[in-house]
Structure 1
Amino acid sequence: MSILIKGGTVVNATGAVRADVLVDGERIAALLAPGFPLEADRVVDATDKYVIPGGVDAHTHMEMPFGGTSSADTFETGTVAAAWGGTTTIIDFAVQTKGTSLLAALDTWHQKAEGSCAVDYGFHMIVSDVNETSLKEMESCVAAGVNTFKMFMAYPGVFYATDGEILRAMQKARETGSTIMMHAENGIAIDQLVAQALARGRTDPVEHGLTRPPELEGEATSRAIALAKVTGSPLYIVHLSAAQALDAVAEARDTGQNVFAETCPQYLYLSLEDLARPGFEGAKYVASPPLRPKEHQSELWRGLRTNDLSVVSTDHCPFCFKDQKELGRGDFAKIPNGMPGVEHRVDLLHQGVVKGEISLERWVEISSTTPARMFGLHPRKGVIAPGADADVVVYDPRATQVISAATHHMNVDYSAYEGMEITGKVDTVLSRGRVIVDGSGYRGSTGHGRFLSRELNQYLV
């Protein structure tokens, strides 16, 4: 089937131009001068709208076990919500637990996702047990198109890795050309602060933020960077939230080290004040790293402008307020860590354009092009160009909307951005040449999404 998207402004990371876009089958066939006479099976009117590459959310957690429960979105519901928000590719995390095999974990996550996804998907691998077998299995994962390995300096007894284990995994990453992703918080010190707070009867959700101070994120980030420098491994810092951590990343990048970092919309728009909402409302905002005082937000926007922050992902890991977040009533340490967001990332980042924080091109770059390149999907994903997958979003920059749990499509009973008025809205979404969202609603189907075997990081030098 051919589709002509006409009358819009095509926005890539490299610039914006008035052009019509011809889609033939699953690929973009051509960019044409506006009004070029051409017939197609379907015409999509993009007049006064942007035509952008589908979003690539490089950090989601669908159906993830955590703290005795599981994230509320399945691969089906989560990817449908992603589609509504203009994201046409997610990269989720297969989770190795202690004493198990990386390859067995990968098989488990393939079974969860296969035949369930509305948009295309890939996997990172969480490595929680470093030994000779798992190090060897990293090679097999790379061969299977999973070449990014997440490790934790937090969560002792669950995911925590020692510096020695991290060093060994980084050495293997250097050998295979793969990339280590790091949750950088000093979990040993944090656990002491948590225990002290609980012993003093401080149990409210805000204590989650107070016991995970930004200095301990900065320290862990600096330590991870030092280990990466010693081993020569690339390093990607996930969900960076604090100015101290950003300073460490910027310093490393200024010396030419292969260090990259993402932040998330919640750190750009929400703050410690949300964790401190009265009653138990703050539990809705418990995630790790925690929300920071508001002064960190301007530093993160600056990092996005300077490219010291390369990507914005969601860390989408939703837990319902009822029956899930409520597990932590009377003990903030038992509140499941995670927030919903996969549906609103593209919209929230567009507010950065509206407010002058970032350019139109940078909006596309951090939401689509850079994650596609960082995680080995470009030029198939992340660009409006002939030969690329026809993952295309028609975006209306003048439309307004109010974010609310009453209208979102994520399988969670609250919105972290409830009542927020925003400018801009997804109009039409194509995934590999198929219209899956338009003015009539959701038109996709379960199982349309395909697994993406990824190449290596294209930014490595």
Structure 2
Amino acid sequence: MKKIIKNGTIVTATDTYTADVLIENDKVQAIGQNISDIYAEVIDASGCYVMPGGIDPHTHMDMPFGGTVTSDDFETGSIAAAHGGTTTFIDFCLTEKGKSLKSALKKWHAKSKDKAAIDYAFHLQIVEANENILHELPEVIEKEGVTSFKVFMAYKDVLQADDETLFQTLITAREHGGLVMVHAENGDVINYLTEKALEEGRTEPINHALTRPPELEGEATGRAAKLTALADSQLYVVHVTCKEAVEQIAAARSKGFRVYGETCPQYLVLDQSYLEKPGFEGAKYVWSPPLRDRSNQEILWNALKSGELQTIGSDHCSFNFKGQKELGKGDFSKIPNGGPFVEDRFSILFSEGVKKGRISLNEFVNLVSTNAAKLFGLFPQKGTIAPGSDADIVLFDPNVERTISVNTHHMNVDYSALEGMQVTGEPVTVLSRGEYVIKNKHFVGAPGKGKYLKCSKFNHHTAAEAKKAEDLVK
């Protein structure tokens, strides 16, 4: 059925204006004044912003880690994401040494089949760069539509790859249109500091942060950026947390290198002191990189404003406190790393960013949707409201106030890391390709309605465009 959205304020990454939106056959068909069609359902968006659906470039659904598996799978996680205004998410496929990339993709397709309520795509981990893997990469890009590849510089003896693997992946990505992502922490030094802490009997959750200091994130970020420059390739640094990493990204970009950065809502509003909560409560706040000193929060906000960081990912990686986080009682290194944020990414960035004057409304849309669509080969199908684009649209009430709580969230996890936080602004209705997923704050979609998306190759023009926009801001 056709739909016409009326009486709302359309907000994209570049414009804010009042107009009607005509939706038909999954797509935005027209934008204009006083659109009418007797066969169309009229959606009244009075008092709401009409925004592109959010794109979360960083999730971990149904992911094994530390002897357990994340509590949100593609069904529960995607429904929670939709409640939070996200209509597309990109999940990470983990690979195994000695096995093909396609085998990992096959496993993740099986995990997601008939489960996701919204559209999704995949990143793919690269743990080794042998002849077979490097031969397989171009085919994965061309035929599977997976164009982004993550290399872990941390989690020694588990996920960590060496610098040769990173460098070879960067070269292959340059040649075939891929975007390399890094988890930037110095895993070798972290491993040493962790073993030393445990030998000294320092087992509490706070030691997770103390053994992963910001200097090690800065060092790894700088190393990855320099290797990217040497390879003349492109790099995306996930979950940036601190001044040390921001400075390395800014330095690389100032030299014209194709280096991009993402941060997450948790690093914008929480700090290291949460890991010191008594009674093992600090385990709820264990993820990597860890929470930092509060002084880093404004540094991250400023980096989002200036364009040094381009996206907001949730790094949604939910583990229950009872039975999962508790695996690390008596040994902080065994606490499953991750937190639940896919539902609150949109609202936190709006409430703490737009409402408090840190970023503009258009910058908000750019950060929460458009930039991710451009970097990961989904634009203009996703990430904007324009004729021909998918009708992924959020009706967002900018004035409603609510309290974040485990009692009201939709994530399949027994705590909220943001419990009691007051936010302003909430998605009211969410459309995915023109169909209701959330209607008046209630889930009305269905598991399996989400489609797997094949991403286009990394676009150098998009990179130049992003840098030009940053220079204009400065």
What is residue 201 of structure 1 aligned with on the other side? Answer: 201
Identity of paired residues, percent?
Answer: 50
What is residue 56 of structure 2 aligned with on the other side? Answer: 57
Alignment-mate amino acid for residue 100 of structure 1 = K
What is residue 408 of structure 1 aligned with on the other side? Answer: 409
What is residue 121 of structure 1 aligned with on the other side? Answer: 120
What is residue 242 of structure 2 aligned with on the other side? Answer: 242
> In structure 2, how many angstroms separate the alpha carbons of the residues matched to 1:90 and 1:105?
18
> In structure 2, how many angstroms separate the alpha carbons of the residues matched to 1:158 and 1:42?
52
- TM-superposition CA deviations, 1:48-102 (whole Å, max 9, x none): 2100000000110000000000111010110011111110000001110122111
SS in 2 for 1:336: coil
> In structure 1, how many angstroms separate the alpha carbons of the residues matched to 2:447 and 2:225?
41
Distance change (3 Å), C-alpha of 1:440 and 1:405: closer
Q: Is contact 1:82-1:88 (8 Å) kept?
A: yes
- Is 2:421 the counterpart of 1:420? yes
Q: Is contact 1:393-1:428 (8 Å) kept?
A: yes
- Is 2:228 the counterpart of 1:222? no
SS in 2 for 1:367: helix
SS in 1 for 2:429: strand
SS in 1 for 2:108: helix
SS in 1 for 2:358: coil
What is residue 444 of structure 1 aligned with on the other side? Answer: 445
What is residue 326 of structure 2 aligned with on the other side? Answer: 326
Q: Is contact 2:53-2:393 (8 Å) kept?
A: yes
What is residue 258 of structure 2 aligned with on the other side? Answer: 258
What is residue 47 of structure 2 aligned with on the other side? Answer: 48
Distance change (3 Å), C-alpha of 1:416 and 1:381: same
What is residue 470 of structure 2 aligned with on the other side? Answer: none
- TM-superposition CA deviations, 1:313-348 (whole Å, max 9, x none): 011000000000000000000000001111111101
- Is 2:21 the counterpart of 1:21? yes
What is residue 185 of structure 2 aligned with on the other side? Answer: 185
Alignment-mate amino acid for residue 227 of structure 2 = L
> In structure 2, how many angstroms separate the alpha carbons of the residues matched to 1:71 and 1:134?
27
Deviation at 1:440, TM superposition (A): 6.3
Alignment-mate amino acid for residue 325 of structure 2 = K
What is residue 365 of structure 2 aligned with on the other side? Answer: 364
Alignment-mate amino acid for residue 43 of structure 2 = V
Moved more, 128-137 or 60-69: 128-137
> In structure 1, how many angstroms separate the alpha carbons of the residues matched to 2:376 and 2:19?
28
What is residue 287 of structure 1 aligned with on the other side? Answer: 287
Give 5+ residue unaligned stretches, structure 1. Answer: none
What is residue 162 of structure 2 aligned with on the other side? Answer: 162
Alignment-mate amino acid for residue 361 of structure 1 = N
TM-score (norm 2): 0.96
What is residue 98 of structure 1 aligned with on the other side? Answer: 97
SS in 2 for 1:104: helix
Deviation at 1:443, TM superposition (A): 0.4
SS in 2 for 1:338: coil
Deviation at 1:40, TM superposition (A): 4.4
- Is 2:361 the counterpart of 1:353? no
SS in 2 for 1:368: helix
Moved more, 122-131 or 54-63: 122-131
> In structure 2, how many angstroms separate the alpha carbons of the residues matched to 1:327 and 1:55?
33
Deviation at 1:162, TM superposition (A): 1.2
Alignment-mate amino acid for residue 286 of structure 2 = V
Give 5+ residue unaligned stretches, structure 2. Answer: 465-474
Q: Is contact 1:128-1:158 (8 Å) kept?
A: no
What is residue 66 of structure 2 aligned with on the other side? Answer: 67
SS in 2 for 1:333: helix
> In structure 2, how many angstroms separate the alpha carbons of the residues matched to 1:282 and 1:390?
41
Q: Is contact 2:8-2:47 (8 Å) kept?
A: yes
Deviation at 1:161, TM superposition (A): 1.2
Alignment-mate amino acid for residue 241 of structure 1 = T
Q: Is contact 1:4-1:40 (8 Å) kept?
A: no
> In structure 2, how many angstroms separate the alpha carbons of the residues matched to 1:175 and 1:37?
49
- TM-superposition CA deviations, 1:187-212 (whole Å, max 9, x none): 00011111111111111101100110
> In structure 2, how many angstroms separate the alpha carbons of the residues matched to 1:59 and 1:217?
18
Deviation at 1:360, TM superposition (A): 0.3
What is residue 389 of structure 1 aligned with on the other side? Answer: 390
* Correspondence 1:120-139 to 2 at 5 A: 120-139=119-138
What is residue 109 of structure 2 aligned with on the other side? Answer: 110
Equivalences, count: 460
> In structure 2, how many angstroms separate the alpha carbons of the residues matched to 1:89 and 1:168?
30
Alignment-mate amino acid for residue 420 of structure 2 = G
> In structure 2, how many angstroms separate the alpha carbons of the residues matched to 1:322 and 1:40?
52
> In structure 1, how many angstroms separate the alpha carbons of the residues matched to 2:25 and 2:349?
30
Deviation at 1:37, TM superposition (A): 4.2
> In structure 2, how many angstroms separate the alpha carbons of the residues matched to 1:344 and 1:285?
16
Deviation at 1:21, TM superposition (A): 1.0
Deviation at 1:136, TM superposition (A): 1.1
Q: Is contact 1:72-1:412 (8 Å) kept?
A: yes
Q: Is contact 1:205-1:280 (8 Å) kept?
A: yes
Deviation at 1:277, TM superposition (A): 1.1
> In structure 2, how many angstroms separate the alpha carbons of the residues matched to 1:9 and 1:282?
42
Q: Is contact 1:46-1:394 (8 Å) kept?
A: yes
Deviation at 1:9, TM superposition (A): 0.3
- Taking only aligned residues, the RMSD between alpha carbons, in angstroms, comes to 1.0
Deviation at 1:36, TM superposition (A): 4.2
- TM-superposition CA deviations, 1:108-158 (whole Å, max 9, x none): 101111211100000000111221111111111101100111001101111
SS in 1 for 2:297: helix
- TM-superposition CA deviations, 1:159-206 (whole Å, max 9, x none): 111111211111111111211100000000011111111111111101
Alignment-mate amino acid for residue 409 of structure 2 = H
Alignment-mate amino acid for residue 181 of structure 1 = M
What is residue 467 of structure 2 aligned with on the other side? Answer: none
Q: Is contact 2:56-2:88 (8 Å) kept?
A: yes
- Is 2:153 the counterpart of 1:153? yes
> In structure 2, how many angstroms separate the alpha carbons of the residues matched to 1:416 and 1:210?
20
What is residue 434 of structure 1 aligned with on the other side? Answer: 435
> In structure 2, how many angstroms separate the alpha carbons of the residues matched to 1:374 and 1:36?
33
Moved more, 285-294 or 436-445: 436-445
SS in 2 for 1:390: coil
- TM-superposition CA deviations, 1:30-59 (whole Å, max 9, x none): 1122x4444343111111210000000011
Deviation at 1:460, TM superposition (A): 3.5
> In structure 2, how many angstroms separate the alpha carbons of the residues matched to 1:380 and 1:48?
27
Alignment-mate amino acid for residue 138 of structure 2 = E
> In structure 2, how many angstroms separate the alpha carbons of the residues matched to 1:98 and 1:14?
44
